[in-house]
Amino acid sequence: MTKPPSPAEKYIELQPAVPADYPAILNLNTNAIPQVSLIDTQALESLHQQALALIVARDNRDDSIAGFLLILDESADYASVNYRFFKDSYPAFVYVDRVVVSPDHQRMGIGKRFYQHLFELGADKPATCEVNVYPLNEQSLAFHGQLGFEKVAEQETEGGSKRVAMLVRPATP
């Protein structure tokens, strides 16, 4: 017997972001602080140009953006201290700079779909990201643990107002 499709499989389409999506992406990003850092349009545009992928989850019921995923690899020129940790530690990697799913669309499987996309794009490289341990983001730590990520280090950011766990999932053999 076939399992019925989840709401994310029925109504949500993952697609490459376009500049017209920036206002919705920035709104989602701002509403997710402190789990992600603040960025502006210029920073988003620069990251998009360097990104391995900037993916949006579009809800086809109302054409809204339900979430986004920004993936960089080791070739980016990015000053983020978290990105720099991985660049200094791994010769090749895929890096989740930020992933956000709107509160109205959480627990629908969108995050898992984003990460499936990440793992397919960078199957031959370790997947890397960071998750707040201060302020604590238990939900994200548990989610990443279920996906096979392991903590390799911790570091303080933003002048000590945040502490993050540096997470790595080995490349798929």
Q: What percent of the chain lies above the pLDDT cut of 90?
A: 83
pLDDT tens-place string over residues 21-34: 999 999 999 999 88
Q: What is the pLDDT of residue 12?
A: 95
Domain boundaries defined on the chain: 7-125
Specify the CATH architecture of the domain 7-125. Answer: 3-Layer(aba) Sandwich (3.40)
12-28 residues labelled b (16+ CB within 10 A) or e (exposed): bebeebeeebbebbbeb
Structure tokens at 116: 């499936």
pLDDT of residue 10: 81
Q: What is the mean pLDDT of residues 132-151?
A: 94
Beta-bridge partner residues of 32:
none
Whole-prediction pTM: 0.92
For residues 2-26, give the mean pLDDT: 87
Given this model, what pLDDT does residue 158 score?
Answer: 84
